[in-house]
Structure 1
Amino acid sequence: MILFFKGSKNIYYAVDSNKKINNADNKKLSWLFGNAVYLDKNILKGYFIGPRKEMITPWSTNAVEITQNMGIQGVERIEEFLKTENKNAPFDPMLQAFYKDLTEDIFTIDKKPDPTIYIENIKKYNKQEGLALSDDEILYLNEICDKIGRKLTDSEVYGFAQVNSEHCRHKIFNGTFIINGKEKKDSLFTLIKKTSKTNPNKLVSAYKDNVAFIVGPEVEQFAPETQDKADFFIVRDIDTVISLKAETHNFPTTVEPFNGASTGTGGEIRDRMAGGKGSIPMAGTAVYMTSYPRLENNRLWEVKTTPRKWLYQTPEEILIKASNGASDFGN
C-alpha cells in the first residue's frame, strides 16, 4: 500500500509499505517528514517529478533505515516528489521521471527483461560498442566460446572488457614493451616510480596506497590521551605528513553530473583515510572544464562556434550539477 504526505511548499512523500500503518506510526512518519500532513487518499492529482520507479534512490535507502530504527515496521520504500504547474517543467531524464497523478502503482514495475543476447561476432561487437579489446583478448574470448560450447552473451563480453580494461589492469602502463625486437627493462610505471626512488627528498610514502605523503610540519593535536578507552583530551605536539592528490572523474560526471562528482569526491576522501594507518581529510578542491556553456547570447567567441548535440548533459548542466554533487558529498 502507498501512503502520501504533503510536506513544505510543493514537496510530497510517497511511502510504500507491505502492511497497514497504524495511527502512531503515521504520526512518526509525519514528524520524520518535517511535520508533513498525512493525506488519506489513493491518488494525488496533478503533475509531479520524482525518481524513476525502477531506481530506488540512496535517499530512500536512508529514509527506510531511519523508519526501522524508529520502530516502524513494513516500510519498503520512501521517495520524494515535486509537484509542478504543468508538464513542461525541466527534470533530469537520467534519474527522474514525469508523473501525471501519483497513484498506488507508482512503484509497480511491469517491465519484462529483454531476452539474452548472444554475440555472434566478438570482433565486430568490440568495435560497435567501443570496448577496446585487443586482438589477443578477442582470440581468448573466441577460444572460451569453443571451450564452453556456446556463444558469449553481451553482458559477459562487456563485463570482461571492463574488468580487463586499462583502468583496472594497467596492461599498457605496467606492461612489457618490445621495441624493434628488443624487450625494454622498464615499464612506463617503473619509469615513473624511478623519479621518487632517485630523488625522494621529503617523500614519506608513494605507490604503496592510493595516495602519497610528504613530510609535514609539527602541529599541536587536541585528542584523547589514549585511543583504546575513554580518556581525557590533551594537547600534544605531533609530526605530520601531508597529501595533495588529484583525480579525474570525467565520464561518470558527464553521464550523471551530480552523482558522478559526488562519488569522485567520496573516492578522494576514501583514498586519504585509507592511506598508511589512516589520515584525516582537511580540504577539497574541484575544477570543472567543459565546452562553452553558452549562458548568454552576446559572447562572440561562443557564437562563432556551432553548438553540438550533447549525448548526455549540456556544459551548463554539468557545471551546475557537478558543483552541487561535489559540495554535497564533501560537505
Structure 2
Amino acid sequence: MIHFFGNKNSKVFAVQTTKELTTETIAKLTWLFADQPKINEASIDAFFVGPRAAMITPWSTNAVEITQNMGISDIIRIEEFTAVSEGFSDFDPMISEKFKSLHQDSFAIDIQPEAIIEIDDIAAYNNQEGLSLSEEEVEYLESVAKKIDRKLTDSEVFGFSQVNSEHCRHKIFNGTFVIDGEEMPTSLFKLIKETSKQNPNDIVSAYKDNVAFIKGPKVEQFAPKTADKPDFYQTQDFDSVISLKAETHNFPTTVEPFNGAATGSGGEIRDRLAGGKGSLPLAGTAVYMTSYSRLEEKRPWEQKFEAGDWLYQTPMDILIKASNGASDFGNKFGQPLITGSVLTFEHKENAASSEAEARRLGFDKVIMQAGGIGYGKAEQALKDTPKDGDEIVILGGENYRIGMGGAAVSSADTGEFASGIELNAVQRSNP
C-alpha cells in the first residue's frame, strides 16, 4: 500500500509499505519529512512530476535506509513528487514522468514478458534496433541460421551484437593492421601489452581481470578477529596489492552527461570491487575531452569558426553535468573523486583550402575516462578456476531495458540511430 505525506499543492512524499502505519510510525515520518503531515486520502487527483514507476531513485534508497535506522520497518520505497500544471513539460523524460494522479498503483508495473520473435531479415532487424552489426556479421548470422536450419531469435541476434561489439571485443585494437600495403607484425593491443611484458617489475595481474594489481606494502590491519560474528578487534599484518583501473564512457557521457559519467565512475568502482577475489576502492579521478566550451569571449582560438550543431548537449553542458555525475556517484558510494583534468580541442584541417575541402576535427563525441586506485590482499589478487560443484551467487536488483544495448550503440557514430535507441542505451545512476 502507498501512504502520502506533504502538501498536495506543492510536494508529496509517497511511502510504499507492506502493512498499515502505526501512530508512532506516522509521527516519525511526519518529523522526517520536515513536519509534513500524512494526507488521509488513498489517491490524489492532480498533476505531478516524479520518478518513473520502474526506476527506484538513489534518493529513495537513502530515504528507506534512514527509516530503517530510525527503527521503522516494512517500508519498501519512498519517492518525491512535485505538483505541476497540466501543460508542464520542463522535466527530464529519461528519469521522470508526469502523472495525472497519485494512487495505490503508482508504483505498480504490469508488464508481461514479450513473446520470442524469430528474425526473418537480420539486416533489417540490425537497423531497427541499432545493433551496429557489420555486413560481414549479418552474413555470418545468416549462415548460422542456415546451418542450424532455423531462424535466429531476437535475443540471440541482440546478444551476439553486444558481445561481438567493438566495445567488448576490441576488434580494431585486436585487428591486423596494414599500413602502406604492408601488414604490421603486431596489433595495437599487443603493443599496449608490450610494456608490461618487457618490464613486469611489480605487476601481479594485468590484462586478465577487470582491474590491474601491482605489489603493495605490508599493511597493519585493525579489524575484528572473525567476520561472520561479533568478535574482539586485533591488529594483523598482511601483504597488500594496489589496484589501478580506468573506464571509458564516451558515448553515454556524450548523450546524457550526468548519468553517463556517473555510471563511468560506477563502472570502475564495480570492476575494482570484483578484482581478483575482491578488493576495495579508495579514490577516483575523471578526465573529460570535449570540443571548445566557448565559455569566454577573450579566447580568439575558439572563435575561428562556428560552434557545431550539437545533437544532445553542448560542450559546456557536458563539462558541468559530467563532472557533477562522476563526483556524485563516487562521493555517495564512499570513494571521493579527488582529481581530474579537462582538454578542449577543435581544429580545421586544410583551412587554407576551399571551404568544401576543409575538414573540422574535434572531440564532438566526448572522451570520458573514470579512473581510480584501491587496495586488496595479495592472497586474494588472483581468481581461482571454477570447479564442478561450485555454487554461483548472482548479486543485483531488477534489470531494465536501459543500458542493455550500450555496447553496440557506443560502437557507432553518435546520431547514427534514432534518439530513443541512443538514450535507451545509457544506464541510469544509482550508487
Place the TM-score, normalised by the shorter chain, in its bin. 0.7 to 0.9
- Decide whether aligned partners of structure 1 residues 230 and 110 sit closer, same or farther in structure 2, where only a CA change above 3 A counts: closer
2:41 aligned residue:
41
C-alpha distance in structure 1 between counterparts of 2:153 and 2:265, whole Å: 36
1:308 aligned residue:
309
C-alpha distance in structure 1 between counterparts of 2:26 and 2:221, whole Å: 45
How far residue 162 of structure 1 moved from its aligned partner, in angstroms, is 0.8
How far residue 50 of structure 1 moved from its aligned partner, in angstroms, is 0.9
How far residue 227 of structure 1 moved from its aligned partner, in angstroms, is 6.2
AA of the residue aligned to 1:267:
G
Aligned to 2:285, what secondary structure does the other structure show? coil
How far residue 120 of structure 1 moved from its aligned partner, in angstroms, is 3.5
How far residue 129 of structure 1 moved from its aligned partner, in angstroms, is 4.8
Contact 1:292–1:302, Cα closer than 8 Å, also in 2: no
Contact 1:214–1:241, Cα closer than 8 Å, also in 2: yes
C-alpha distance in structure 1 between counterparts of 2:11 and 2:317, whole Å: 23
C-alpha distance in structure 2 between counterparts of 1:104 and 1:275, whole Å: 43
- Decide whether aligned partners of structure 1 residues 293 and 53 sit closer, same or farther in structure 2, where only a CA change above 3 A counts: farther
1:78 aligned residue:
78
Aligned to 2:246, what secondary structure does the other structure show? coil
1:253 aligned residue:
253
Q: Which runs of 5+ in 1 are unaligned?
A: none
C-alpha distance in structure 2 between counterparts of 1:115 and 1:162, whole Å: 21
- Decide whether aligned partners of structure 1 residues 302 and 243 sit closer, same or farther in structure 2, where only a CA change above 3 A counts: farther
Aligned residues: 325
Percent identity at matched positions? Answer: 55
1:223 aligned residue:
222
AA of the residue aligned to 2:306:
T
AA of the residue aligned to 1:194:
E
2:157 aligned residue:
157
Aligned to 2:90, what secondary structure does the other structure show? coil
Q: Give a deviation string over 1:184-233, Cα, whole Å, max 9, x none.
A: 875543343232121234444322432224455x5764524966684445
C-alpha distance in structure 1 between counterparts of 2:271 and 2:202, whole Å: 20
Aligned to 1:287, what secondary structure does the other structure show? strand
How far residue 13 of structure 1 moved from its aligned partner, in angstroms, is 0.9
Contact 1:25–1:72, Cα closer than 8 Å, also in 2: no
C-alpha distance in structure 1 between counterparts of 2:78 and 2:4, whole Å: 10
TM alignment of 1:46-85, pairs within 5 A: 48-60=48-60, 70=71, 72-73=73-74, 77-83=77-83
2:399 aligned residue:
none
1:285 aligned residue:
285
2:93 aligned residue:
93
Contact 1:4–1:13, Cα closer than 8 Å, also in 2: yes
Aligned to 2:284, what secondary structure does the other structure show? coil
1:169 aligns to 2:159 (yes or no)? no
Contact 1:291–1:315, Cα closer than 8 Å, also in 2: yes
Aligned to 2:324, what secondary structure does the other structure show? helix
1:192 aligned residue:
192
AA of the residue aligned to 2:165:
S
Q: Give a deviation string over 1:85-126, Cα, whole Å, max 9, x none.
A: 885573211111234554455345678888876544323443
Aligned to 1:94, what secondary structure does the other structure show? coil
- Decide whether aligned partners of structure 1 residues 272 and 104 sit closer, same or farther in structure 2, where only a CA change above 3 A counts: closer
How far residue 182 of structure 1 moved from its aligned partner, in angstroms, is 10
Contact 1:297–1:303, Cα closer than 8 Å, also in 2: no
- Decide whether aligned partners of structure 1 residues 226 and 72 sit closer, same or farther in structure 2, where only a CA change above 3 A counts: closer
AA of the residue aligned to 1:211:
V
How far residue 256 of structure 1 moved from its aligned partner, in angstroms, is 3.5
Aligned to 2:289, what secondary structure does the other structure show? coil
AA of the residue aligned to 1:126:
N
Q: Give a deviation string over 1:100-156, Cα, whole Å, max 9, x none.
A: 554455345678888876544323443565533244432332244443534643x54
Q: Which has the higher contact order (CA 8 A, sep 6+)?
A: 2
Aligned to 2:13, what secondary structure does the other structure show? strand
TM alignment of 1:114-129, pairs within 5 A: 119-127=119-127, 129=129
- Decide whether aligned partners of structure 1 residues 144 and 266 sit closer, same or farther in structure 2, where only a CA change above 3 A counts: same
- Decide whether aligned partners of structure 1 residues 204 and 64 sit closer, same or farther in structure 2, where only a CA change above 3 A counts: closer
If the length of structure 2 is used for normalisation, what is the TM-score? 0.59
C-alpha distance in structure 1 between counterparts of 2:114 and 2:233, whole Å: 61
How far residue 54 of structure 1 moved from its aligned partner, in angstroms, is 4.0
How far residue 23 of structure 1 moved from its aligned partner, in angstroms, is 3.3
Worse overlay, 221-230 or 278-287: 221-230
> Over the residues paired in the alignment, what is the CA RMSD in angstroms?
4.5
AA of the residue aligned to 1:223:
F
Contact 1:272–1:278, Cα closer than 8 Å, also in 2: yes
AA of the residue aligned to 1:90:
D
- Decide whether aligned partners of structure 1 residues 63 and 117 sit closer, same or farther in structure 2, where only a CA change above 3 A counts: farther
Contact 1:145–1:152, Cα closer than 8 Å, also in 2: no
C-alpha distance in structure 1 between counterparts of 2:23 and 2:59, whole Å: 24
C-alpha distance in structure 2 between counterparts of 1:260 and 1:104, whole Å: 33
- Decide whether aligned partners of structure 1 residues 277 and 113 sit closer, same or farther in structure 2, where only a CA change above 3 A counts: closer
Aligned to 2:281, what secondary structure does the other structure show? coil
C-alpha distance in structure 2 between counterparts of 1:6 and 1:191, whole Å: 61
Aligned to 2:209, what secondary structure does the other structure show? coil
If the length of structure 1 is used for normalisation, what is the TM-score? 0.73
- Decide whether aligned partners of structure 1 residues 202 and 65 sit closer, same or farther in structure 2, where only a CA change above 3 A counts: closer
Contact 1:94–1:256, Cα closer than 8 Å, also in 2: no
